[in-house]
Protein backbone atom coordinates (compact mmCIF):
# COMPACT_ATOMS: atom_id res chain seq x y z
CA UNK A 1 0.00 0.00 0.00
CA UNK A 2 1.26 3.49 -0.89
CA UNK A 3 2.40 5.94 1.80
CA UNK A 4 -0.47 8.05 0.48
CA UNK A 5 -3.34 5.55 0.53
CA UNK A 6 -6.27 5.91 -1.85
CA UNK A 7 -9.43 5.83 0.31
CA UNK A 8 -13.14 5.91 -0.47
CA UNK A 9 -15.41 7.15 2.34
CA UNK A 10 -19.17 6.69 2.67
CA UNK A 11 -21.34 8.92 4.87
CA UNK A 12 -25.04 8.19 5.56
CA UNK A 13 -25.56 9.23 9.18
CA UNK A 14 -28.51 11.53 8.44
CA UNK A 15 -30.01 12.92 5.23
CA UNK A 16 -26.92 13.19 2.99
CA UNK A 17 -25.79 10.26 0.87
CA UNK A 18 -22.15 11.22 0.45
CA UNK A 19 -19.03 9.64 -0.99
CA UNK A 20 -15.55 11.15 -0.84
CA UNK A 21 -12.24 9.94 -2.22
CA UNK A 22 -8.84 11.07 -0.94
CA UNK A 23 -5.23 10.18 -1.66
CA UNK A 24 -3.34 10.71 1.56
CA UNK A 25 -4.45 14.21 2.53
CA UNK A 26 -5.43 15.31 -0.97
CA UNK A 27 -9.13 15.54 -1.81
CA UNK A 28 -9.98 13.94 -5.16
CA UNK A 29 -13.78 13.78 -5.05
CA UNK A 30 -16.64 14.85 -2.81
CA UNK A 31 -20.13 13.97 -4.04
CA UNK A 32 -23.31 14.56 -2.03
CA UNK A 33 -26.94 13.69 -2.72
CA UNK A 34 -29.18 15.35 -0.13
CA UNK A 35 -32.76 14.43 0.66
CA UNK A 36 -33.34 17.65 2.62
CA UNK A 37 -36.14 18.81 0.31
CA UNK A 38 -38.08 15.62 1.06
CA UNK A 39 -37.88 16.39 4.79
CA UNK A 40 -38.57 20.13 4.60
CA UNK A 41 -42.37 19.82 4.67
CA UNK A 42 -42.10 17.90 7.96
CA UNK A 43 -39.85 20.53 9.55
CA UNK A 44 -37.12 17.97 10.31
CA UNK A 45 -35.48 14.77 9.16
CA UNK A 46 -37.76 11.71 8.89
CA UNK A 47 -35.58 8.60 9.44
CA UNK A 48 -37.51 6.28 7.10
CA UNK A 49 -37.41 8.80 4.26
CA UNK A 50 -33.67 9.30 4.81
CA UNK A 51 -32.96 5.54 4.70
CA UNK A 52 -34.91 5.04 1.48
CA UNK A 53 -33.17 8.01 -0.11
CA UNK A 54 -29.77 6.51 0.76
CA UNK A 55 -30.72 3.22 -0.88
CA UNK A 56 -31.78 4.96 -4.06
CA UNK A 57 -28.83 7.35 -4.30
CA UNK A 58 -25.91 5.15 -3.25
CA UNK A 59 -24.97 3.51 -6.61
CA UNK A 60 -25.00 6.76 -8.58
CA UNK A 61 -23.12 8.72 -5.89
CA UNK A 62 -20.34 6.11 -5.80
CA UNK A 63 -20.13 6.08 -9.60
CA UNK A 64 -19.98 9.87 -9.78
CA UNK A 65 -17.23 10.04 -7.14
CA UNK A 66 -15.11 7.46 -8.98
CA UNK A 67 -15.55 9.41 -12.22
CA UNK A 68 -14.69 12.71 -10.52
CA UNK A 69 -11.55 11.22 -8.99
CA UNK A 70 -10.65 9.51 -12.29
CA UNK A 71 -10.07 6.14 -10.64
CA UNK A 72 -11.56 2.64 -10.65
CA UNK A 73 -12.80 0.63 -7.68
CA UNK A 74 -9.87 -1.76 -7.86
CA UNK A 75 -7.44 1.17 -7.44
CA UNK A 76 -8.66 1.75 -3.89
CA UNK A 77 -6.53 0.79 -0.90
CA UNK A 78 -9.39 0.76 1.63
CA UNK A 79 -13.07 1.53 2.18
CA UNK A 80 -14.22 3.69 5.10
CA UNK A 81 -17.74 4.35 6.34
CA UNK A 82 -19.51 6.22 9.10
CA UNK A 83 -20.46 3.62 11.72
CA UNK A 84 -21.98 6.04 14.22
CA UNK A 85 -23.46 8.09 15.69
CA UNK A 86 -26.49 8.79 13.52
CA UNK A 87 -29.89 7.47 12.47
CA UNK A 88 -29.71 3.69 12.79
CA UNK A 89 -31.52 2.90 9.54
CA UNK A 90 -29.41 5.36 7.60
CA UNK A 91 -26.21 3.97 9.13
CA UNK A 92 -27.22 0.42 8.16
CA UNK A 93 -27.47 1.44 4.50
CA UNK A 94 -24.00 2.96 4.59
CA UNK A 95 -22.25 0.20 6.52
CA UNK A 96 -23.89 -2.53 4.41
CA UNK A 97 -22.83 -0.79 1.20
CA UNK A 98 -19.27 -0.38 2.47
CA UNK A 99 -19.05 -3.98 3.66
CA UNK A 100 -20.27 -5.21 0.30
CA UNK A 101 -17.64 -3.17 -1.52
CA UNK A 102 -14.86 -4.27 0.83
CA UNK A 103 -15.82 -7.93 0.54
CA UNK A 104 -16.23 -7.83 -3.22
CA UNK A 105 -12.95 -5.97 -3.78
CA UNK A 106 -11.02 -7.78 -1.03
CA UNK A 107 -10.08 -4.44 0.51
CA UNK A 108 -9.79 -3.50 4.21
CA UNK A 109 -12.81 -1.82 5.77
CA UNK A 110 -12.73 0.89 8.43
CA UNK A 111 -15.80 1.94 10.40
CA UNK A 112 -15.19 5.47 11.64
CA UNK A 113 -16.78 7.84 14.12
CA UNK A 114 -18.86 10.60 12.54
CA UNK A 115 -17.76 13.16 15.14
CA UNK A 116 -14.05 12.45 14.71
CA UNK A 117 -14.51 12.56 10.95
CA UNK A 118 -15.81 16.14 11.13
CA UNK A 119 -12.49 17.10 12.71
CA UNK A 120 -10.43 14.97 10.31
CA UNK A 121 -11.63 17.01 7.34
CA UNK A 122 -9.19 19.67 8.60
CA UNK A 123 -6.41 17.42 7.26
CA UNK A 124 -7.43 17.74 3.63
CA UNK A 125 -5.34 19.69 1.15
CA UNK A 126 -2.94 20.80 3.87
CA UNK A 127 0.20 19.69 5.65
CA UNK A 128 -0.26 21.25 9.09
CA UNK A 129 -0.27 19.00 12.18
CA UNK A 130 -3.76 17.95 13.26
CA UNK A 131 -3.13 17.59 16.95
CA UNK A 132 -3.01 18.57 19.69
CA UNK A 133 -6.04 20.83 19.30
CA UNK A 134 -9.22 21.92 21.03
CA UNK A 135 -12.13 21.14 18.73
CA UNK A 136 -15.53 22.78 18.86
CA UNK A 137 -17.88 20.35 17.14
CA UNK A 138 -21.27 21.93 16.40
CA UNK A 139 -24.02 20.42 14.28
CA UNK A 140 -27.70 19.55 14.25
CA UNK A 141 -27.21 16.69 16.69
CA UNK A 142 -24.02 17.53 18.55
CA UNK A 143 -22.39 20.42 20.40
CA UNK A 144 -19.15 19.40 22.07
CA UNK A 145 -15.76 20.72 23.10
CA UNK A 146 -13.09 18.08 22.55
CA UNK A 147 -9.44 17.82 23.43
CA UNK A 148 -7.79 16.12 20.47
CA UNK A 149 -4.49 14.59 21.55
CA UNK A 150 -4.46 12.06 18.68
CA UNK A 151 -7.41 12.06 16.33
CA UNK A 152 -7.41 8.33 15.67
CA UNK A 153 -6.88 7.14 19.23
CA UNK A 154 -7.03 9.82 21.93
CA UNK A 155 -9.92 12.30 21.89
CA UNK A 156 -11.31 13.50 25.22
CA UNK A 157 -14.72 15.13 25.71
CA UNK A 158 -14.40 18.27 27.84
CA UNK A 159 -18.00 19.36 27.49
CA UNK A 160 -21.18 18.74 25.54
CA UNK A 161 -24.79 19.85 25.31
CA UNK A 162 -27.11 18.78 28.11
CA UNK A 163 -30.23 19.34 25.98
CA UNK A 164 -30.60 20.82 22.48
CA UNK A 165 -27.59 20.92 20.20
CA UNK A 166 -26.79 24.27 18.57
CA UNK A 167 -28.03 23.19 15.15
CA UNK A 168 -31.20 21.78 16.70
CA UNK A 169 -31.83 25.13 18.39
CA UNK A 170 -31.44 26.89 15.04
CA UNK A 171 -34.04 24.56 13.51
CA UNK A 172 -36.52 25.08 16.35
CA UNK A 173 -36.18 28.86 16.41
CA UNK A 174 -36.46 29.01 12.61
CA UNK A 175 -39.75 27.16 12.94
CA UNK A 176 -40.96 29.75 15.49
CA UNK A 177 -39.99 32.50 13.04
CA UNK A 178 -41.64 30.66 10.14
CA UNK A 179 -38.32 30.39 8.30
CA UNK A 180 -37.55 27.43 6.00
CA UNK A 181 -35.90 24.19 7.11
CA UNK A 182 -33.00 23.70 7.68
CA UNK A 183 -32.95 26.54 10.17
CA UNK A 184 -29.22 27.25 10.31
CA UNK A 185 -28.82 28.75 6.83
CA UNK A 186 -32.22 30.47 7.04
CA UNK A 187 -31.42 32.29 10.29
CA UNK A 188 -27.88 33.07 9.13
CA UNK A 189 -29.27 34.80 6.03
CA UNK A 190 -32.09 36.54 7.89
CA UNK A 191 -29.66 37.84 10.55
CA UNK A 192 -27.61 39.71 7.96
CA UNK A 193 -30.16 42.53 8.00
CA UNK A 194 -30.75 42.41 11.77
CA UNK A 195 -29.16 43.93 14.86
CA UNK A 196 -27.33 41.31 16.98
CA UNK A 197 -27.61 43.40 20.14
CA UNK A 198 -31.25 44.43 19.71
CA UNK A 199 -32.50 41.78 22.14
CA UNK A 200 -30.61 40.48 25.16
CA UNK A 201 -31.24 36.74 25.02
CA UNK A 202 -29.74 34.50 27.76
CA UNK A 203 -26.38 32.76 27.50
CA UNK A 204 -26.98 29.28 28.90
CA UNK A 205 -24.71 27.80 31.58
CA UNK A 206 -22.49 30.87 31.86
CA UNK A 207 -23.39 31.98 35.39
CA UNK A 208 -20.89 31.22 38.15
CA UNK A 209 -23.18 28.65 39.77
CA UNK A 210 -23.60 26.84 36.43
CA UNK A 211 -19.90 26.86 35.58
CA UNK A 212 -19.12 24.94 38.77
CA UNK A 213 -20.75 21.79 37.36
CA UNK A 214 -20.93 22.60 33.63
CA UNK A 215 -17.73 24.49 32.86
CA UNK A 216 -17.59 23.46 29.21
CA UNK A 217 -21.15 22.20 28.71
CA UNK A 218 -23.87 23.85 26.64
CA UNK A 219 -27.61 24.34 27.02
CA UNK A 220 -29.77 25.92 24.33
CA UNK A 221 -33.29 24.86 25.33
CA UNK A 222 -33.68 27.87 27.64
CA UNK A 223 -32.60 30.18 24.82
CA UNK A 224 -35.23 28.67 22.53
CA UNK A 225 -37.87 29.23 25.24
CA UNK A 226 -36.73 32.82 25.69
CA UNK A 227 -37.18 33.44 21.97
CA UNK A 228 -40.68 31.90 22.05
CA UNK A 229 -41.68 34.11 25.01
CA UNK A 230 -40.31 37.21 23.32
CA UNK A 231 -42.36 36.50 20.20
CA UNK A 232 -45.49 36.13 22.31
CA UNK A 233 -44.86 39.34 24.25
CA UNK A 234 -43.82 41.47 21.26
CA UNK A 235 -46.31 40.74 18.47
CA UNK A 236 -44.80 43.41 16.17
CA UNK A 237 -41.26 42.06 16.50
CA UNK A 238 -38.59 42.62 13.87
CA UNK A 239 -37.79 39.14 12.64
CA UNK A 240 -34.26 39.97 11.44
CA UNK A 241 -33.40 41.40 14.87
CA UNK A 242 -34.67 38.24 16.55
CA UNK A 243 -32.62 36.08 14.19
CA UNK A 244 -29.48 38.16 14.70
CA UNK A 245 -29.84 38.36 18.48
CA UNK A 246 -30.57 34.64 18.82
CA UNK A 247 -27.62 33.76 16.59
CA UNK A 248 -25.36 36.08 18.59
CA UNK A 249 -26.34 34.35 21.84
CA UNK A 250 -25.50 30.91 20.43
CA UNK A 251 -22.20 31.98 18.89
CA UNK A 252 -21.16 33.93 21.98
CA UNK A 253 -21.55 30.94 24.30
CA UNK A 254 -19.84 28.55 21.89
CA UNK A 255 -16.77 30.74 21.65
CA UNK A 256 -16.58 31.79 25.31
CA UNK A 257 -16.37 28.16 26.42
CA UNK A 258 -14.12 26.95 23.61
CA UNK A 259 -11.53 29.67 24.14
CA UNK A 260 -11.65 29.06 27.90
CA UNK A 261 -10.95 25.36 27.29
CA UNK A 262 -7.99 26.18 25.04
CA UNK A 263 -6.48 28.52 27.60
CA UNK A 264 -6.96 26.05 30.45
CA UNK A 265 -5.38 23.20 28.49
CA UNK A 266 -2.46 25.21 27.16
CA UNK A 267 -3.31 24.08 23.63
CA UNK A 268 -2.97 26.94 21.14
CA UNK A 269 -4.96 25.55 18.18
CA UNK A 270 -8.76 25.60 17.89
CA UNK A 271 -10.61 23.67 15.21
CA UNK A 272 -14.28 24.45 14.59
CA UNK A 273 -16.13 21.73 12.67
CA UNK A 274 -19.62 20.43 11.93
CA UNK A 275 -22.56 21.91 10.06
CA UNK A 276 -22.89 24.99 12.29
CA UNK A 277 -19.25 25.84 11.47
CA UNK A 278 -20.62 27.11 8.14
CA UNK A 279 -22.43 29.90 10.02
CA UNK A 280 -21.06 33.26 8.86
CA UNK A 281 -21.27 34.97 12.26
CA UNK A 282 -19.52 32.09 14.02
CA UNK A 283 -16.69 32.18 11.49
CA UNK A 284 -16.34 35.97 11.74
CA UNK A 285 -16.44 36.21 15.52
CA UNK A 286 -14.21 33.15 15.97
CA UNK A 287 -11.51 34.80 13.87
CA UNK A 288 -11.67 38.01 15.90
CA UNK A 289 -11.70 36.34 19.31
CA UNK A 290 -8.99 33.75 18.64
CA UNK A 291 -6.71 36.47 17.29
CA UNK A 292 -7.30 38.55 20.41
CA UNK A 293 -6.55 35.50 22.58
CA UNK A 294 -3.36 34.65 20.69
CA UNK A 295 -4.77 31.34 19.43
CA UNK A 296 -4.61 29.70 16.01
CA UNK A 297 -8.00 29.06 14.38
CA UNK A 298 -8.75 26.48 11.72
CA UNK A 299 -12.20 26.10 10.12
CA UNK A 300 -12.83 23.85 7.08
CA UNK A 301 -14.28 25.37 3.90
CA UNK A 302 -18.06 25.69 4.12
CA UNK A 303 -18.64 22.84 1.66
CA UNK A 304 -16.78 20.49 4.02
CA UNK A 305 -18.54 21.58 7.22
CA UNK A 306 -21.83 19.79 6.59
CA UNK A 307 -21.93 15.97 6.44
CA UNK A 308 -19.81 14.65 3.57
CA UNK A 309 -17.87 11.60 2.46
CA UNK A 310 -14.56 13.45 2.24
CA UNK A 311 -14.35 13.72 6.02
CA UNK A 312 -14.94 9.97 6.38
CA UNK A 313 -12.25 9.19 3.83
CA UNK A 314 -9.88 11.64 5.55
CA UNK A 315 -10.19 9.88 8.91
CA UNK A 316 -9.79 6.51 7.21
CA UNK A 317 -6.65 7.73 5.48
CA UNK A 318 -5.17 8.81 8.82
CA UNK A 319 -5.98 5.40 10.30
CA UNK A 320 -4.35 3.55 7.41
CA UNK A 321 -1.27 5.81 7.45
CA UNK A 322 -0.84 5.26 11.20
CA UNK A 323 -1.06 1.49 10.81
CA UNK A 324 -4.33 1.03 12.69
CA UNK A 325 -5.91 -2.38 12.10
CA UNK A 326 -9.09 -2.39 9.97
CA UNK A 327 -12.52 -3.16 11.35
CA UNK A 328 -14.06 -6.60 10.98
CA UNK A 329 -16.62 -7.04 8.22
CA UNK A 330 -19.28 -7.95 10.75
CA UNK A 331 -19.16 -4.77 12.84
CA UNK A 332 -22.53 -3.15 13.45
CA UNK A 333 -23.45 0.54 13.36
CA UNK A 334 -23.86 2.33 16.68
CA UNK A 335 -26.43 5.13 16.58
CA UNK A 336 -25.41 6.53 19.97
CA UNK A 337 -21.64 6.17 19.79
CA UNK A 338 -19.63 8.81 21.63
CA UNK A 339 -16.27 10.31 20.69
CA UNK A 340 -14.24 7.79 22.70
CA UNK A 341 -14.11 5.35 19.79
CA UNK A 342 -12.76 7.12 16.67
CA UNK A 343 -12.24 3.84 14.79
CA UNK A 344 -14.65 0.90 15.21
What tens digit of pLDDT does each residue of 233-282 get? 999 999 999 999 999 999 999 999 999 999 999 999 999 999 999 999 99
* Percent of the chain whose predicted confidence (pLDDT) is above 70: 99
Q: Is 330 within the bounds of a domain?
A: no
pLDDT tens per residue across span 6-30: 999 999 999 999 999 999 999 999 9
Is the pLDDT assigned to residue 293 strictly greater than 70?
yes
Strands 78-84 and 6-11: parallel
Residue 156 and residue 260 in one domain: yes
pLDDT tens per residue across span 35-61: 888 887 787 889 899 999 999 999 999
Domain extent at residue 154: 133-299
CATH number at residue 172: 3.30.420.40
Q: Is 161 within the bounds of a domain?
A: yes
Q: Is 1 within the bounds of a domain?
A: no
- pLDDT value at residue 168: 95
Q: Give the chain's domain count.
A: 2
Residue 224 and residue 239 in one domain: yes
Is the pLDDT higher at 141 or at 319?
319
Residue 104 and residue 212 in one domain: no
Rounded-to-integer distance, Cα 3 and Cα 21, Å: 16
pLDDT tens per residue across span 101-137: 999 999 999 999 999 999 999 999 999 998 999 999 9
Q: What angle do CA 302, 303, 308 make, to 5 degrees?
A: 125
Q: Is 216 within the bounds of a domain?
A: yes
Residue 144 and residue 238 in one domain: yes
Residue 275 and residue 316 in one domain: no
- pLDDT value at residue 2: 64
Residue 193 and residue 168 in one domain: yes
Across the chain, what does the average pLDDT equal?
95
Residue 309 and residue 237 in one domain: no
- What are 32's strand-pairing partners? 18
Residue 116 and residue 234 in one domain: no
Q: Could you tell me the pLDDT band of residue 332, with boundaries at 50, 70 and 90?
A: confident
Residue 116 and residue 21 in one domain: yes
Rounded-to-integer distance, Cα 281 and Cα 251, Å: 7
Q: Supply the pTM of this predicted model.
A: 0.94
Q: Is 329 within the bounds of a domain?
A: no
Residue 149 and residue 282 in one domain: yes
Residue 149 and residue 183 in one domain: yes
Closest by alpha carbon to 4, among 30, 26, 29, 21?
Answer: 26
Residue 314 and residue 286 in one domain: no
Query: DSSP of 88-131, one letter per residue?
Result: HHHHHHHHHHHHHHHHHHT--EEEEEHHHHHHHGGGTT--S---
Closest by alpha carbon to 177, among 279, 245, 278?
Answer: 245
Q: Is 78 within the bounds of a domain?
A: yes
Amino acid sequence: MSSEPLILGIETSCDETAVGIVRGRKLLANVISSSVEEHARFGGVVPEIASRAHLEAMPSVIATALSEAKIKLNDLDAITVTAGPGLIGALVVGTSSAAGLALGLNKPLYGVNHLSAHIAVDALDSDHPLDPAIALLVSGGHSSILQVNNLTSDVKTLGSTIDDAAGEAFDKVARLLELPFPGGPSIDHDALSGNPIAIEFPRGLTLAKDLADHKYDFSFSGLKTAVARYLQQIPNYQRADVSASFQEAVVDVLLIKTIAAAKASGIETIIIAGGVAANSRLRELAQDRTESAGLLLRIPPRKLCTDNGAMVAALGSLAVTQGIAPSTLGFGPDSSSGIARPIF
